[in-house]
């Protein structure tokens, strides 16, 4: 009988009880005896030289324990925050990698750059004192945007990065692309901006450092998606603390979306300061600090061209992108606009030749790194906007041009011209499912009905494919990663048959405590209540590479399966011994170990007990205990894919865009918990819709001041901005190279949604001759576009 809480069941989440009753344990909830509070003094300038810091008055304020600066860190030989990925430019030279100190030493390079930290008895006292720190700045000219950064004569963010260029990189066969364009019957072109976003996890970043003088051990409790990586980076490169003396705990974490992958300076500051002041030190960002200092996402300016033959078959794609990396290199920053972006430019299409150039630049803005989707939404948006333009050039239906160019299912595994090999996918099937869901044939009638009411209706399609399950270490290493990207799991059976699983994956909303337990319950035929999932503590988990890139299930789940395989092998030996049978005669099903052809069998619980009470074990052949650990390094990326369809209605009088319907058809491979998967899609969709219609992180180009520094200025999607969704997935194309057949679902919604919404908005405005609009399609922008369109559509045009 199938396990009611096994694979495929919508098990209600086990973590919800504590979250719903206020018993979550987030970093800021921790309180230690004698704990102090840190507040950072941050630069109000985007670019300035630090001439001096006077903190005498601050240090004398009530409750102040210490005021520490970059000079103190330098004296203690604190290092620079390391970058985890190295990119080489076209000419073979390595990227520019300027130092990034946790507290600035002589120059600040973005608004929010930390220059000092005040530590006091209470947060309020620290905040009061921080306001009394006087920093003597010599303001320097600033660079507030990527286009300004490469404008000849722009100020230099780093003296050793000429023209502000970090790297100038390319991928693909330029000659083949040029030849295809020379012979093309039609060319579609687009210029677009993928605007900067602020991830905005609802829990602001926080960190608490502790130092135990008697043992010499440090503990960092932090809002991290990957505590082991933080331990490695901070321990080895910044503070010089060996792993066995540094514990990093990432407890309940209130959302990440990429922004909590990275090692941040504040983590090093509180850990270092805890030893300096001899007391625990806690720092919690307020939302303003989050806006200023969390790594941002996206920020591309691109030009793209698509060559086609006379029938609309894609011949070649040429892309040129300018990517803004901000003031310093965040942990994974260089990989995002390169190997997580340009490698996805084939999309779902069999375009035979692709060439992409990416110039990445420094600016006086917050660092930019992975944000949900990380490079793949940028790729999807570019391709899918361009394909809509191409449909216009060809006079073809937007679904037809896509269908004509899909990589057919039969071509799998398919080698793209941009390095990836897709394992599975049936793109036509996704579209076939989507079209009736959205009643595509009825669209023109709905459009006419809207028009009769004075409204503009549009429909937009986006197909996407992403490379997830990051990543095969050998591939990542060849491409510049300075780490392996495997995952680790340990499965520990206890004597009475309950199980504790230790996973290097980290859950910050994804529900691993439920999903991973389902996998174990299914495998061993045990109640889910008997399985506990432990994550987020380097002292408990053997190792981990954390959660990002939709990798938890595909990589962490696979490590779990591998560890369970080992447990089963060991259990089989024990069963053979107990049942006095040959190991080869033991059959295993749902956690029962049976001697083939007999009714002699044992449950996994009986075996676990014997494993810990080995009174008659042949000890030279059989060790006591039932506790196994495994590392899993994926063989390939996984390739979730799908088709998203959005229908909008625009009020031309106000410019307000309303999403009338949104359908997402996805292929995530096998699904463990449908309820959780659907929830991941819903959330992803709204982040994509947020980019399309609402969100925009704006810096003043000249001053480098963050204009959108709070929820008053940065428009977050709210409940009344978005609709309910039609979400649908199929399991016909499981991943072929991991044991669960899973592909990952965390980023899909965000990747497809922005393109689908914008294609719908542009479609709605097509009567006005609009072929493109940059995001976000705010009411003001839409209204101005309609107003500026010349000539306004005549009744005759409207009737067409």
Partner 1 sequence: MSCTVSMTVNGKTVSREVEERTLLVAFLREHLGLTGTHVGCDTSQCGACVVHVDGRSVKSCTTLAVQANGAEVTTIEGLAAADGTLHPMQAAFREHHGLQCGFCTPGMVMSAVDLVRENPNPTEAEIREGLEGNICRCTGYHNIVKAVKAGAEAMAGAQPAPVAAE
For residue 519, the number of C-alpha atoms closer than 13 Å in the C-beta half-sphere is 30
With respect to partner 1, which residue has the nearer C-beta, 154 or 677? 677
The stretch among 200-208, 566-574, 770-778, 791-799 that binds partner 1 (CB under 8 A) is 200-208
Distance of closest approach, residue 434 Cβ to partner 1, in angstroms: 18
Work out whether the CA dihedral 670, 675, 678, 684 comes out positive or negative. negative
> Residues binding partner 1: what is the number (CB under 8 A)?
61
Report the distance separating Cα 742 and Cα 757, nearest Å.
27
With respect to partner 1, which residue has the nearer C-beta, 156 or 716? 716
Distance of closest approach, residue 151 Cβ to partner 1, in angstroms: 34
Q: To which H or E segment does residue 724 belong?
A: none
With respect to partner 1, which residue has the nearer C-beta, 22 or 162? 22
Decide: is 131 part of the binding site for partner 1 (CB under 8 A).
no
Report the distance separating Cα 638 and Cα 730, nearest Å.
16
Contacts for 761 with CB less than 8 Å, ≥ 6 apart: 458, 460, 648, 650, 657, 692, 773, 777, 782
Q: Where are the beta strands (DSSP E) in 216-345?
A: 217-222, 246-249, 281-284, 297-308, 314-326
The stretch among 7-15, 394-402, 475-483, 699-707 that binds partner 1 (CB under 8 A) is 7-15
The stretch among 151-159, 242-250, 316-324, 712-720 that binds partner 1 (CB under 8 A) is 712-720
The stretch among 70-78, 325-333, 539-547, 716-724 that binds partner 1 (CB under 8 A) is 716-724
Instruction: Burial-class residue 175 by CB neighbours within 10 Å (0-12, 13-18, 19+).
Output: exposed
Decide: is 13 part of the binding site for partner 1 (CB under 8 A).
yes
Indicate which single residue of 57, 76, 106, 124 sits in contact with partner 1 (rule: CB under 8 A): 124
With respect to partner 1, which residue has the nearer C-beta, 711 or 787? 711
Decide: is 34 part of the binding site for partner 1 (CB under 8 A).
no
Query: In the beta sheet, which residues pair with residue 197?
Result: 297
With respect to partner 1, which residue has the nearer C-beta, 172 or 204? 204
As given in the structure block, the two tokens for residue 235 are 């321990």
Report the distance separating Cα 177 and Cα 183, nearest Å.
10
Decide: is 138 part of the binding site for partner 1 (CB under 8 A).
no
Report the distance separating Cα 162 and Cα 229, nearest Å.
31
Distance of closest approach, residue 798 Cβ to partner 1, in angstroms: 30
- What character string, x for contact with partner 1 (CB under 8 A) and - otherwise, covers 491-520? -----------------xxxx---------
Report the distance separating Cα 268 and Cα 74, nearest Å.
13
- Check: CB of residue 489 under 8 Å from CB of residue 501: yes
Distance of closest approach, residue 518 Cβ to partner 1, in angstroms: 10
Decide: is 252 part of the binding site for partner 1 (CB under 8 A).
yes
- Looking up tokens 């959108």 gives 708
The stretch among 309-317, 337-345, 417-425, 707-715 that binds partner 1 (CB under 8 A) is 707-715
Distance of closest approach, residue 489 Cβ to partner 1, in angstroms: 21
**Angle made by CA atoms 746, 319, 769, in degrees to the nearest 5:** 90
Indicate which single residue of 41, 315, 394, 528 sits in contact with partner 1 (rule: CB under 8 A): 528
Which alpha helices (H) appear in 139-293, and where do they start and end?
146-149, 174-182, 227-232, 265-277, 287-293
Which alpha helices (H) appear in 209-359, and where do they start and end?
227-232, 265-277, 287-293
The stretch among 170-178, 195-203, 354-362, 595-603 that binds partner 1 (CB under 8 A) is 195-203
Indicate which single residue of 554, 676, 740, 765 sits in contact with partner 1 (rule: CB under 8 A): 676
Site for partner 1, residues 254 to 293, rule: CB under 8 A? 254-255, 257, 286-288
Taking the mean position of all CA atoms in its chain, how far away is CA 431? 26
Decide: is 684 part of the binding site for partner 1 (CB under 8 A).
yes
- Looking up tokens 């010499």 gives 216
Report the distance separating Cα 81 and Cα 389, nearest Å.
43
- The DSSP code for 776 is P
Work out whether the CA dihedral 605, 608, 614, 617 comes out positive or negative. positive
For residue 334, the number of C-alpha atoms closer than 13 Å in the C-beta half-sphere is 26
Contacts for 17 with CB less than 8 Å, ≥ 6 apart: 23
Decide: is 200 part of the binding site for partner 1 (CB under 8 A).
yes
- The DSSP code for 793 is P
Report the distance separating Cα 248 and Cα 210, nearest Å.
10
Distance of closest approach, residue 14 Cβ to partner 1, in angstroms: 6
Indicate which single residue of 153, 441, 724, 791 sits in contact with partner 1 (rule: CB under 8 A): 724
Distance of closest approach, residue 252 Cβ to partner 1, in angstroms: 7
Query: In the beta sheet, which residues pair with residue 487?
Result: 632
The stretch among 19-27, 172-180, 733-741, 756-764 that binds partner 1 (CB under 8 A) is 19-27
Q: To which H or E segment does residue 661 belong?
A: strand 656-667
Decide: is 215 part of the binding site for partner 1 (CB under 8 A).
no
Decide: is 549 part of the binding site for partner 1 (CB under 8 A).
no
Distance of closest approach, residue 536 Cβ to partner 1, in angstroms: 13
Distance of closest approach, residue 579 Cβ to partner 1, in angstroms: 32
Distance of closest approach, residue 331 Cβ to partner 1, in angstroms: 21
Indicate which single residue of 749, 752, 776, 793 sits in contact with partner 1 (rule: CB under 8 A): 749
84: helix, coil or strand? coil
The stretch among 242-250, 494-502, 714-722, 790-798 that binds partner 1 (CB under 8 A) is 714-722
Binding site for partner 1 (CB under 8 A): 5, 11-24, 26, 28-29, 31, 124, 200-204, 252-255, 257, 286-288, 508-511, 528-529, 675-676, 678-680, 682-687, 710-712, 716, 718-720, 722, 724-725, 749
């Amino acid at each position: 009988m199938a396990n009611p809480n096994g694979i495929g069941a919508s098990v209600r989440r086990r973590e919800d009880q504590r979250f719903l009753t206020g018993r979550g344990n987030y970093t800021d909830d921790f309180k230690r005896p004698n704990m102090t509070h840190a507040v950072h003094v941050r630069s109000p300038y985007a670019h300035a030289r630090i001439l001096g810091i006077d903190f005498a008055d601050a240090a004398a304020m009530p409750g102040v324990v210490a005021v520490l600066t970059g000079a103190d860190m330098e004296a203690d030989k604190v290092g620079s925050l390391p970058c985890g990925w190295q990119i080489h430019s076209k000419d073979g030279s390595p990227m520019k990698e300027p130092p990034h100190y946790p507290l600035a030493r002589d120059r600040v390079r973005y608004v929010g750059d930390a220059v000092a930290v005040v530590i006091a008895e209470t947060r309020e006292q620290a905040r009061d004192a921080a306001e009394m720190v006087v920093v003597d700045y010599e303001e320097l000219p600033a660079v507030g945007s990527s286009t300004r950064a490469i404008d000849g004569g722009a100020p230099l963010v780093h003296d050793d990065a000429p023209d502000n260029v970090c790297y100038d990189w390319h991928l693909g066969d330029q000659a083949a692309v040029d030849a295809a364009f020379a012979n093309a019957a039609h060319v579609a072109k687009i210029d677009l901006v993928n605007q900067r976003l602020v991830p905005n996890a609802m829990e602001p970043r926080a960190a608490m450092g502790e130092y135990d003088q008697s043992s010499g051990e440090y503990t960092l409790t932090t809002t991290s998606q990957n505590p082991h990586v933080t331990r490695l980076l901070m321990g080895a490169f910044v503070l010089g603390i060996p792993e066995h003396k540094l514990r990093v705990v990432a407890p309940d974490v209130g959302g990440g979306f990429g922004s909590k992958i990275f090692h941040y300076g504040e983590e090093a500051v509180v850990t270092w300061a805890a030893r300096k002041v001899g007391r625990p030190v806690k720092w919690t960002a307020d939302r303003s600090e989050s806006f200023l200092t969390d790594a941002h996402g996206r920020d591309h300016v691109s030009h793209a061209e698509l060559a086609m033959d006379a029938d609309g078959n894609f011949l070649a794609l040429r892309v040129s992108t300018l990517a803004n990396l901000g003031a310093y290199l965040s942990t994974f920053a260089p990989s995002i606009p390169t190997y997580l972006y340009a490698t996805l430019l084939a999309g779902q299409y069999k375009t035979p030749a692709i060439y992409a150039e990416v110039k990445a630049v420094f600016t006086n803005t917050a660092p930019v790194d992975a944000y949900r989707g990380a490079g793949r939404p940028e790729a999807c948006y570019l391709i899918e906007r361009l394909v809509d333009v191409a449909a216009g050039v060809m006079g073809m239906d937007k679904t037809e041009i896509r269908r004509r160019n899909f990589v057919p299912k039969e071509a799998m595994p398919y080698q793209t011209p941009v390095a990836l090999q897709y394992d599975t996918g049936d793109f036509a099937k996704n579209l076939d499912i989507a079209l009736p869901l959205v009643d595509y044939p009825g669209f023109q009638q709905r459009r006419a009905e809207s028009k009769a009411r004075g409204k503009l209706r549009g429909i937009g399609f986006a197909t996407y494919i992403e490379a997830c399950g990051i990543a095969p270490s050998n591939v990542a290493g060849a491409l510049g990663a300075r780490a392996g990207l495997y995952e680790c799991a340990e499965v520990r059976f206890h004597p009475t048959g309950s199980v504790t699983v230790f996973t290097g994956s980290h859950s910050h909303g994804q529900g691993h405590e439920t999903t991973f337990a389902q996998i174990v319950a299914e495998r061993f035929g045990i109640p889910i209540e008997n399985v506990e999932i432990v994550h987020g503590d380097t002292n408990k988990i053997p190792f981990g590479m954390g959660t990002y890139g939709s990798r938890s299930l595909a990589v962490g789940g696979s490590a779990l399966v591998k560890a369970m395989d080992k447990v089963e092998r060991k259990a089989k030996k024990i069963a053979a011994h107990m049942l006095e049978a040959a190991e080869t005669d033991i059959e295993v099903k749902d956690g029962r170990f049976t001697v083939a052809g007999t009714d002699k069998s044992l449950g996994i619980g009986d075996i676990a007990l014997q494993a810990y009470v080995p009174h008659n074990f042949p000890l030279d052949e059989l060790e006591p205990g039932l506790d196994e650990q495994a590392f899993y390094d994926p063989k390939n990326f996984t390739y979730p894919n799908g088709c998203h369809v959005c229908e909008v209605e625009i009020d031309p009088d106000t410019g307000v865009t309303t999403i009338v319907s949104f359908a997402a058809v996805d292929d995530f491979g096998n699904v463990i918990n449908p309820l959780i998967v659907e929830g991941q899609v819903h959330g992803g969709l709204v982040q994509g819709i947020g980019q399309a219609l609402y969100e925009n992180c704006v810096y003043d180009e000249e001053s480098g001041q963050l204009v959108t520094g709070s929820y008053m200025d940065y428009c977050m999607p709210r409940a009344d901005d978005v609709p309910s969704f039609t979400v649908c997935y199929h399991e016909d194309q499981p991943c072929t190279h991991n044991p669960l057949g899973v592909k990952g679902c965390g980023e899909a919604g965000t990747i497809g949604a922005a393109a689908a919404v914008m294609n719908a908005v542009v479609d709605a405005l097509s009567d006005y001759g609009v072929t493109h609009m940059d995001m976000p399609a705010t009411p003001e922008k839409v209204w101005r576009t309609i107003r500026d369109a010349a000539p306004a559509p005549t009744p005759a045009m409207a009737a067409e």
